[in-house]
Structure 1
Amino acid sequence: MPDVTVVVPTHDRPADLERAVASVRRQTFPAAAIVVVDDTGSAEAVAGRLGVRYVRVASHTAGASRNRGARHADTSHLAFLDDDDEWAPTFLERLLAAGGDLAAAWTWYQRGGHRRPGCTLPRRLRAADCLHHNPGLTGSNFVVRTAAFRALRGFDPALIVNNDLDLLVRALDAGLHHVVVAERLVVQHSRGHGHLSSRGPHRASGLALYRDKYRDRLTLAQRRFLARERYVALKFPGQRPARRAAFALLGWLNASPRQLAELALHRTAPFYD
């Protein structure tokens, strides 16, 4: 029978952390261990009250925190849950039953009292097709065999954003067998700010790091896509109007015809804005 360690990286969100851990405790297939990895020191009291393993780190990326938590696993499988997300009660049961080296589920996005469909990972994927755009793997919606995760050397700790996409690309390159459970078993919460997908210089520099890592494999269209994402990130609130206008223009110039059509229909506004 499989067993699973759940790693929960947290960043100064003790109330959200309690909700995330509660969703792990409600699983119909219980986790063998829960490891909370804290990069601010704000969660020690919460972790002690919840009775989970607590690890204090000085990480600067979510990938590095997840890797640190994964070191403590002696189970056959690993799962990761961001502190502001939560699982449906059958998440672990359904994904462990699915098999494969890596199994992933679909997600919901929730902001305030509004919920909408989130990531919808396709069953068939090629690394070359998703180098530029995450097709639906997040830091909270997959279970992976521990041996496979360690063979990949975990997440890239240098990547500020897209570390989940990078892990997926490397898994596909390695020929790992991935399985998709076409059920929305994860809720990703957003307050509209303070998220890695929020617009700002932090996200923009992270996108540049990711682009540089895969520069030699990206097609022209994929490079343009990432350039547009970076310019959108740089058009954040609080800037001078002239700079916002310049980045908006650069974003439009790097958009594909399909993106331009979708923008005209107001279909591609970032959920985390």
Structure 2
Amino acid sequence: MPDVTVLVATRDRAPELRRSLARHAASHTAPVIVADNASADGTADVAGEAGATVLRLPRNLGAAARTVAARHASTRYVAFADDDSWWAPGALDRAAEILDAHPRTALLAARVLVGEDERPEPVSEEMARAPLGRPDGLPGPAVLGFLACSAVVRREAFLDAGGFSAVLHFGGEEELLALDLAAAGWGLAYVPEIVVHHHPSAAGRDPAWRRRREARNRLLTAWLRRPLPAVARAAASALGTRDGRAGLADAARALPALARARRPVPPAVEAARARLTDY
């Protein structure tokens, strides 16, 4: 029986998905579940033809589609992938070995190599600098964030933490999950020997929309899990750009529905989070 299932959330990216699923098939025996966010371009058919289990979602759930896929997985661990990324040969088997050896670690963040020239992803380089140190019992530097396409996680811990937020939908959704896992007592670590290849789609999303959504989600995450001074600093930071101000307005509209969902993380987790940025 496999130890890891690959979970892919996608929408209207049939050509990219065809390429990435072929890479998965060539490199791994891990089962693949594709959660299709109500695509209109035949994406679900491409996934089925490639041998993946396909979940045809009736509407676009964004990142929360990964949570739906995790509920359908039967393995102890799940590995996230985007429709334009794939795990390097041997990466998933090695991730399972590391998680088996480190039972208090819930999530491994892999090293991401971007494009044909395999340039290091800046987020991976920042993790390698170990700003949170290397606590005993973790297989690498501690982290409080990750790129979703580069994470292998304990399925049970992921689901217990609530998975990816439906409210955040997409764009910077990883931080809230990282904070919730840490608040539950789990460790998260960067392990550079585990590698992911990411070839960003040429049909990328609107950059301005992405910046606006990420600003919104940073503010909502701060409201949900951080002390009020940190929320104020995040709001002040957002005021510095047009997209940030738009994201602040979007967050303000979403706040009334989240008033009772605020649950600040324990002081030790907040202290670690505060070391990563100035807000």
> Counterpart of 2:109?
104
Post-superposition CA distance 1:192-245 (Å, at most 9, x none) = 6623xx5224541452243034135326654444444763697xxxxxxxxxxx
Per the TM alignment, residue 179 of structure 1 is displaced from its structure 2 partner at its CA by 2.9
Q: Does 1:147 align with 2:126?
A: no
> Counterpart of 1:199?
207
User: What is the alpha-carbon distance in structure 2 between the residues aligned to residue 15 and residue 91 of structure 1?
Assistant: 24
Q: Does 1:173 align with 2:183?
A: yes
1:230 to 1:80, Cα distance in 2 relative to 1, 3 A? farther
1:213 to 1:103, Cα distance in 2 relative to 1, 3 A? closer
Aligned length: 223
> Deviation above 6 Å: which 4+ runs of structure 1?
none
> Counterpart of 1:92?
92
> Counterpart of 1:182?
192
User: What is the alpha-carbon distance in structure 1 between the residues aligned to residue 4 and residue 208 of structure 2?
Assistant: 36
Compare the two structures and name the one with the higher helix fraction.
2
Q: Does 1:79 align with 2:79?
A: yes
Question: Secondary structure of 1:6's match?
Answer: strand
- Unmatched 5+ stretches in structure 2: 100-104, 134-142, 247-276
Per the TM alignment, residue 187 of structure 1 is displaced from its structure 2 partner at its CA by 1.9
Question: Secondary structure of 1:12's match?
Answer: coil
User: What is the alpha-carbon distance in structure 2 between the residues aligned to residue 211 and residue 96 of structure 1?
Assistant: 34
Q: 1:38 aligns with which of 36, 54, 71?
A: 36
Post-superposition CA distance 1:88-135 (Å, at most 9, x none) = 11220221122132112111222xx55421031345649xxxxxxx97
Letter in structure 2 aligned against 1:116: R
CA RMSD for the aligned pairs?
3.1
User: What is the alpha-carbon distance in structure 1 between the residues aligned to residue 236 and residue 194 of structure 2?
Assistant: 31
Identity of aligned residues (%): 28
User: What is the alpha-carbon distance in structure 2 between the residues aligned to residue 189 and residue 227 of structure 1?
Assistant: 32
Q: 1:231 aligns with which of 243, 265, 269?
A: 243
- The question of whether the paired residues in 1 share the 8 Å contact of 2:107 and 2:188 is answered with yes
Q: 2:120 aligns with which of 117, 122, 146?
A: 117
> Counterpart of 2:60?
60
User: What is the alpha-carbon distance in structure 2 between the residues aligned to residue 2 and residue 155 of structure 1?
Assistant: 24
Q: 1:214 aligns with which of 198, 222, 237?
A: 222
Letter in structure 2 aligned against 1:87: W
> Counterpart of 1:249?
none
User: What is the alpha-carbon distance in structure 2 between the residues aligned to residue 199 and residue 189 of structure 1?
Assistant: 17
User: What is the alpha-carbon distance in structure 1 between the residues aligned to residue 167 and residue 89 of structure 2?
Assistant: 33
Per the TM alignment, residue 170 of structure 1 is displaced from its structure 2 partner at its CA by 1.6
User: What is the alpha-carbon distance in structure 2 between the residues aligned to residue 73 and residue 191 of structure 1?
Assistant: 27
